[in-house]
Amino acid sequence: MPEPRFELPPQYDPHAVERPLYRRWLERGVFTARVDSPKPPYVIVIPPPNVTAVLHMGQGLNNVTQDVLIRFERMRGREALWLPGTDHAGIATQNVVERLIAKEGKTRFDLGREAFVARVWAFVRETGPTILEQLKMIGASCDWTRTRFTLDPAYSQAVREVFVRLWEEGLIYRGHRVIHWCPRCLTALSDEEAESKDIDGKLYYIRYPVEGGPKPYLTVATTRPETLAGRHGGGRESQGRAPSSLRRQGGPVADHRPAGADPRR
């Protein structure tokens, strides 16, 4: 009876090898960390990818690096936990869904608040699992039993609890200002969500009449002349005397020069 021949495939088929191996890891729970373990802990909280689309190359590289660290510490005998999750990415997700609605010839105002929120949640339910499956495809050894989403009720409650405690302890405050305002989204944006560009500007010199000062005017330079109307008063200390005040009557005199110009000219 002839012996069975063992033939190597002409090229490596990752699906035939990696999928069964990864499935075996999951079935044996090798990625699941134990809370009551006597081993020293080692924890990485994954920077949650946005649910706006699929993973990009940068996220793949970042997660592979984390996987190397977590596997290394696991092999060293530590109780390693790599906590996975996804981020709702509010403004970014809203923009993606609005573009999809625009293809239908509509806006979020046409749908109304409740219908638009429902569309966003439907999009999140579609893209969220896709991103997690992509992480599994590249072999990420996350503890999938602890997968979280930033808008999970328990997480949202925990965030509110922390912020309220910090407020009550005087460790945070609410500033009465807006960093960036989007005229299209009609909402505030963080620095990370604002796209900056360099433009040629002007430096405006505003002369405010001074009452009782050594000079008749106090010159203030600004690149934003629209703030002129908001300057109600000011003062300066001069040789130990009480600060001089700006006169409210009589408007200031404004001049403008290219940014960087010598104010003495």
Q: pLDDT by residue (tens digit) across 192-240?
A: 777 888 988 899 988 888 877 788 888 888 888 877 766 555 555 445 4
The model's pLDDT over 76-95, given as tens digits with 9 standing for 90+, comes to: 999 999 999 888 877 878 88
pLDDT of residue 69: 97
Q: Are residues 85 and 140 in the same domain?
A: yes
Domain boundary among 121, 147, 168: 168
pLDDT of residue 263: 46
Distance CA 198, CA 27 (A): 54
Report the chain's mean pLDDT, rounded to a whole number: 82
Q: Are residues 89 and 140 in the same domain?
A: yes
pLDDT of residue 28: 94
Buried/exposed code over 19-51 (b: 16+ C-beta within 10 A; e: otherwise): eeebeeeeeeeebebeeeeeeeebebebebbbb
Residue 206's domain comprises 200-227+246-260
Q: Are residues 211 and 164 in the same domain?
A: no
How much is the average pLDDT of 244-257? 47
Q: Residue for token digits 């044996």?
A: 28
pLDDT above 70 coverage of the chain, percent? 85
The model's pLDDT over 131-142, given as tens digits with 9 standing for 90+, comes to: 888 999 999 999
pLDDT of residue 244: 46
Predicted confidence band of residue 178 (pLDDT cuts 50, 70, 90): low
C-alpha closest to that of 82 among 28, 36, 19, 148: 148
How much is the average pLDDT of 114-126? 87
pLDDT of residue 188: 78
Query: What domain count does the chain have?
Result: 2
Q: Return the minimum-mean-pLDDT range out of 3-17, 39-53, 227-241.
A: 227-241
- Whether residue 124 lies inside any domain: the answer is yes
- Whether residue 45 lies inside any domain: the answer is yes
- Whether residue 82 lies inside any domain: the answer is yes
Q: What is the dihedral of CA 124, 127, 132, 136, to 10 degrees?
A: 170
Q: Nearest 5°: phi and psi at 244?
A: -75, 155
Q: Are residues 70 and 151 in the same domain?
A: yes
Q: Are residues 35 and 82 in the same domain?
A: yes
Distance CA 256, CA 228 (A): 13
Q: Are residues 115 and 60 in the same domain?
A: yes
Residue with more model confidence, 189 or 201: 201
- Whether residue 183 lies inside any domain: the answer is no
Dig out the tokens for 207 from the structure. 């002369």
- Whether residue 127 lies inside any domain: the answer is yes
